[in-house]
Amino acid sequence: MEAHLLEWINLIVRWVHVIVGIAWIGASFYFVWLENNLDRTVKNPELAGELWAIHGGGIYHLQKYNLAPATMPKHLHWFKWEAYSTWLTGVLLLALVYYINANSYLVAPGSSLSATATIALGFGVLVIGWIAYDLLCKSPLRHQPALLGIVLILFLTAAAWGLSQFMSGRAAYIHVGAIIGTMMVGNVFFVIMPAQRSLVAAVEAGETPDPSKPKNALLRSRHNNYLTLPVVFIMISNHFPSTYGHEWNWLILLGVSLVSVGVRHYFNIRHKAQQFIWILPGAMLAMFVMAYVTAPKPLPIVADQHTNEAPAKISDDQALAIVTQHCVDCHAAQPKSPAFASAPGGVMLENVLQIRLHSEAVYQQSVATQVMPLGNMTQMTTLERQQLGTWLLQKK
């Protein structure tokens, strides 16, 4: 019953997280697009630009002031709860998935840290990540956006490498995503919203607004825009073990993130010029290169400790025995593992027919990337993985 309840709590929190995340990302993308597409030749000296658009059967006329109008409108729409709700549900989801079952999902096999210490590390990097990012944005680097971007990429790559030493690849990825998400919501809470409140307060008091605060808020908003696609990839990465399960998982994350930032940049500026059209085929080529680099490699031949010979043909009974020992506690119609109310992904491996049905997934997860069993809690050996892989391949 506990596993069933956790599954539904997970479902509800994940669903809300996706809904509010879409709202936040949509608003971010729209306002950056709006900023980049303003007609700045408008003759009104109070305006920074204007834009005409058609959508949903109607025509819209949008105007952006240099700072603010002489008097504030009665109804002013703010955008903040989408960001706050996304972060709060994300942290709750992090706890539900990775901290409640830390030994299975969070801690890397053979890690020198306990589950409690690894959870503390997970929370700690969120705080440290925001502080480091905020200090960098307040440093002289803020005047050199490209150099600041390179430093941030190196910082996040170092975080990915460091976390992968103590966390499973899947958990390391999601914690890098949580660091980025914390940076983004921190921008909204600590920089963008205070700048907007300051602007409104100055207008209402009849004072001249300080232009530096909105300018800084715009910079942080652009950061959020470029960071969005790497976060989206990380959110779905747990479906792709060839990324987080690879020995160079931190480098793969860097590669996909660079591709994401490049694609985002192209769509940000494509209405102004097309000189960066090469980014799209370049991004596709980079993805193919990473697919090639992460292609599964054969396991090293490990001799049987009893016969001192390499494994030959493996029988159905031998393969079933390995799967039963290491996989069936979770992948069964009625899992014995307290973490699951039903078989994860609906994948059941209780007999040879079921294993053959899911042979590609079993090979990828247990043999090629070795991300299963979770945390290798059942201590599946290299020999057993090789025997299972031999059986799976000989059935093709």
Question: What is the residue extent of each domain of the chain?
Answer: 2-293, 316-394
Q: Choose between 81 and 314: higher pLDDT.
A: 81
pLDDT digits (tens, 9 = 90+) for 329-379: 999 999 888 778 888 888 999 999 999 999 888 888 998 888 899 888 889
pLDDT digits (tens, 9 = 90+) for 204-244: 888 888 888 888 898 899 999 999 999 999 999 998 999 99
Q: Are 100 and 6 in contact (CB under 8 A)?
A: yes
d(CA 140, CA 240): 39
User: Phi, psi (5° rounding) for residue 339?
Assistant: -80, -15
Q: Are 168 and 243 in contact (CB under 8 A)?
A: no
d(CA 182, CA 175): 10
Q: Which of 134, 105, 138 is nearest to 119 (CA)?
A: 105
pLDDT digits (tens, 9 = 90+) for 257-315: 999 999 999 988 887 777 888 999 999 999 999 999 998 776 665 555 555 555 568 88
3-state SS class at 350 = coil
Average pLDDT, the chain: 90
d(CA 176, CA 181): 9
3-state SS class at 50 = strand
Q: Are 60 and 54 in contact (CB under 8 A)?
A: yes
Q: DSSP state, 68?
A: -
Tokens of 357: 């049905």
Helix (H), strand (E), coil (C) string for 226-250: HHHHHHHHHHHHHHCHHHHCCCCHH
Q: DSSP state, 59?
A: E
d(CA 221, CA 335): 46
